[in-house]
Amino acid sequence: MQDWMKLAGIRSSDITDEAVFRQRRTLLQAAAAAGMTGAIATDSFAMTEKLSMDVAETQYKAEGEITSEETATSYNNFYELGTDKGDPLKNAKFLKTDPWSVTVDGECDAPGTFTLEDILKPHAIEERVYRLRCVEAWSMVIPWNGFPLADLLKRFKPNSKAKYVAFETVSSQKLPGMRSRVLDWPYREGLRIDEAMHPLSFMAIGMYGNVIPNQNGAPMRLVLPWKYGFKSIKSIVKISFTEEQPQTSWNMSAPHEYGFFSNVNPNVSHPRWSQAKERKLVGDAGGLSALFASKTETAYLNGYAEEVGNLYADMDLKKFF
């Protein structure tokens, strides 16, 4: 087992909700078809399946201490489950992930509606350690498990009119946070096609060697490490290839505050606060302790400028923020 697997702790006090267990069972069935093997740990209180697989060494290893699994799964944003940082964990049981399907449409030659098993079946799962930067000026370093977004998108054969890729989060379920009018549901996000096809763009189905929990975007979410965290859309149910730039939720809600690209840029301040510095939630930092974490300089494109800077070489990034 890889050293990074030791980062995932299993406690007998972690009681698995039936819906979560069913989600994990579905993912394990799909993972088995993808050539993954599941190691099952049980005791009288819990059943936790770990994503155990041969992971090739990659260059995707973020610098710095890794955020604890407890912090990453209990201090996060998922507005469908509530607007406070602790709401997603508290309300995770309301998200039902079995069965799950994803509809693909628009400018592609192989559209359709696919089950989770269909989506995962052909993919070899890999582990990447990425740093995600939240617009509220804090960041986490997390080990993710999944596969390149490009590998998935190519299967649907986008045509020459596909200039963008749009995504939607589940909205058929009446989740607690959706009672709020903070956003126009469903949650929408989008990328330019070259961004979506870039090797850094990642589709995650796990984290810390475990199946991704509901509060972090089960059963499948994006990870876009050079963009602010809200671009990494969770619990995806729809993918559309479009010729025109798609609408995105935060840009629709507050276009003067949230641009379509939403790249991490310390030189472009949010209208209500500076983005020049951030608090790194490493180790066990989270909750109230996050308020007292020391600040560090924010890196341009979240430290991934060498990899993705060429995508924006001829753009005015203060205009196209």
Identify the pLDDT of residue 29: 56
Identify the pLDDT of residue 64: 82
In contact, 144 and 127? CB cutoff 8 Å: yes
In contact, 71 and 281? CB cutoff 8 Å: yes
In contact, 7 and 69? CB cutoff 8 Å: yes
Identify the pLDDT of residue 25: 52
Q: What is the SS3 assignment for 194-217?
A: HHHCCCCCEEEEEECCEECCHHHC
Identify the pLDDT of residue 24: 53
Which residue from 206, 216, 200, 198 is spatially nearest to 303, judged by alpha carbons? 200
Residue 158 CB neighbour total at 10 angstroms: 22
d(CA 99, CA 305): 39
Identify the pLDDT of residue 163: 98
Identify the pLDDT of residue 62: 85
Please list the ranges in the chain whose pLDDT falls under 50: 1-18, 20-21, 35-49, 52-56
Residue type (1 letter), 9: G
Identify the pLDDT of residue 39: 30
How many Å is the Cα radius of gyration of the chain?
19
Identify the pLDDT of residue 216: 98
- Domains detected in the chain: 56-312 (3.90.420.10)
Residue 20 CB neighbour total at 10 angstroms: 21
